[in-house]
A and B are shown apart, each in its own frame.
Chain A
Amino acid sequence: MDLRLFQFDYDMSFAVTFLHPDRTVYGRFGTRNGNEEAADDEISMAGLAAAMSGALELHAGYPGNKASLVGKQPVPSVKYPTPEKIPTMGKYKSVLDYDGKIAGSCIHCHSIRDKQRRIVRDAGEILGLRELSPWPMPLVLGIQMDAQARATVANVVLNSPAASAGLKAGDQILKANGQPILSTADLQWTLHAMDDNAKLVLDLTRSSEPITLTVTPQNQWRESSDIAWRVSTWDLRRIALGGMRLERIPTEARTGNIPKAGKMALRALNVGQYGDHATAKKAGLKKEDVIVEFNGDSGDLTESELIKRIVSTLKKGEKVSVDYLRSGERRETSFQLQ
């Protein structure tokens, strides 16, 4: 797979790219956030058909619309042209081994992200927030998209940046920062590439009337995007949390010694048992322990926010302290980051 051409959310298990024969990208399709029960709210055949229809419209207008497509094109400066060229990828080749272990010879798309992160960490560097928050969902601005339609808003979260900008359910997004939008994935691409301090200018139709709105993201919007559902976050848990999977305890469920709202309360849903994922286990941590302070930070973070904070500020080999509750008793341990 040519990574200079096919740049999509590598945590997806179904990703579509629409292209002109000259390799100009018209758009992308394929979004989910790991909530299997609500998968129909994220992706649908109707949504795909609508995106295809939009791609045909762009094709009919090409090359007159080429300038508007510039922002949708792949980033040319990729370090490795194909997944198998990534040094940490190991044994994998560019083709499946149909005469041997077929599935075992397949490079999982999320590995493209995992393996490149590993190179950065092994070099003793930190990872940037853009790398740690790939393809943010529009929900990070308060926009819930309609999976059944073409780039259409289903709901707007109260008091969100989108609500402040005046966005409403039923609005169809035609362009974002000048780029034609065919799907939720297209909107994610725009957010993925956007500078942290930039605004999102949306050209819409509302009841057949054209409208332009400007959404001003809240501070640290990229940091707040949820990555807990991503397959590639499994390896980040090894790096940052010693192999633990954590879940923020809801405010209303905090009883006994568990800190109240505004303070850290992350329950260990799972603690890795093997290899590099067993670092927290070796430090004495167990499933159901409640993390209340991590390396001096006791803010009321989600697992996603904690992982990003650790990996974007601390390097491999640095020792972190962990304060936790077990059966109500406060304990302390430490381990080295990977």
Chain B
Amino acid sequence: MIAFHHYSHLTTIVHTLVLGTLAATLSMGEEEKKTRDQMVLEDRSALADNDHWIYNDLDKAFAEAEQSGRPLMVVHRCIP
């Protein structure tokens, strides 16, 4: 789960994520396909320390949203 509450950057961030996924898919080519476990770990390391996303910590997201008065966007998704 990813919670995001800095709306001003959201469109850019989401676009970046999608393009990143597409680029990774295209560049894999003949390379060995990654396991789902590998993809989950890579996804976590890409987003866990991200300035714009809060990863798997809803309490923190609500705490920051309450402090800033900004809305939240919570994403539940499968990986990939």
Look across to chain A and name the residue whose beta carbon is closest to the beta carbon of B64: A21
- 5-53 of chain A: CB within 8 A of chain B: 6, 8, 12-23, 26, 45, 48-49, 52
Is the pair B76, A19 in contact by a Cβ cutoff of 8 Å? no
> Given contacts A23-B62, A45-B14, A101-B37, are A1 and B72 in contact (CB under 8 A)?
no
The interface centre, meaning the residue of B1, B37, B69, B71 with most chain A CB atoms within 10 A of its CB, is B71
Is the pair B7, A52 in contact by a Cβ cutoff of 8 Å? yes
> Given contacts A45-B18, A59-B71, are A52 and B76 in contact (CB under 8 A)?
no
Is the pair B73, A21 in contact by a Cβ cutoff of 8 Å? no
> Given contacts A1-B1, A48-B14, A52-B7, are A6 and B62 in contact (CB under 8 A)?
no
A164 CB → nearest B CB, Å: 37
A158 sits at the interface (CB 8 A): no
Is the pair B40, A96 in contact by a Cβ cutoff of 8 Å? yes
B33 sits at the interface (CB 8 A): no
A56 sits at the interface (CB 8 A): yes
A102 sits at the interface (CB 8 A): yes
B47 sits at the interface (CB 8 A): no
Is the pair A13, B77 in contact by a Cβ cutoff of 8 Å? yes
B23 sits at the interface (CB 8 A): no
Partner of A56, one of B1, B35, B71: B71
B4 CB → nearest A CB, Å: 9
A20 to B62, CA, bound (A): 9
- 69-121 of chain A: CB within 8 A of chain B: 96, 98, 101-103, 106, 108-109
Report whether over half of chain B's contact residues are helix, strand or loop; otherwise say mixed.
helix
> Given contacts A101-B37, A102-B36, A102-B41, are A49 and B75 in contact (CB under 8 A)?
no
A55 sits at the interface (CB 8 A): yes
Complex interface: chain B residues within 8 A of A52 (CB):
7, 10-11, 73
> Given contacts A14-B77, A16-B73, A102-B36, are A21 and B18 in contact (CB under 8 A)?
no
A52 to B7, CA, bound (A): 8
Complex interface: chain A residues within 8 A of B58 (CB):
2
Look across to chain B and name the residue whose beta carbon is closest to the beta carbon of A10: B76
* 10 sampled A-B residue pairs with Cβ under 8 A: A1-B1, A2-B58, A16-B76, A17-B73, A19-B72, A49-B11, A59-B70, A102-B36, A102-B40, A109-B78
Complex interface: chain B residues within 8 A of A16 (CB):
73-76
**Closest 5 A-B residue pairs measured CB to CB?**
A103-B36, A21-B65, A13-B78, A102-B37, A21-B66
Known: A21-B62, A102-B40. 13 other contacts (CB 8 A): A14-B78, A15-B75, A15-B77, A17-B73, A20-B71, A21-B65, A49-B14, A52-B11, A55-B71, A59-B70, A59-B71, A98-B44, A102-B41
A26 to B73, CA, bound (A): 10
Is the pair B62, A14 in contact by a Cβ cutoff of 8 Å? no
- 36-61 of chain B: CB within 8 A of chain A: 36-37, 40-41, 44, 58
Is the pair A26, B71 in contact by a Cβ cutoff of 8 Å? yes
Q: B-facing mask of A291-326, CB < 8 A → 1, else 0?
A: 000000000000000000000000000000000000
Complex interface: chain B residues within 8 A of A48 (CB):
14
A196 to B1, CA, bound (A): 34
B36 CB → nearest A CB, Å: 4
A102 to B72, CA, bound (A): 27
B70 CB → nearest A CB, Å: 7
A138 to B65, CA, bound (A): 33
A290 to B65, CA, bound (A): 57
Is the pair A21, B76 in contact by a Cβ cutoff of 8 Å? no
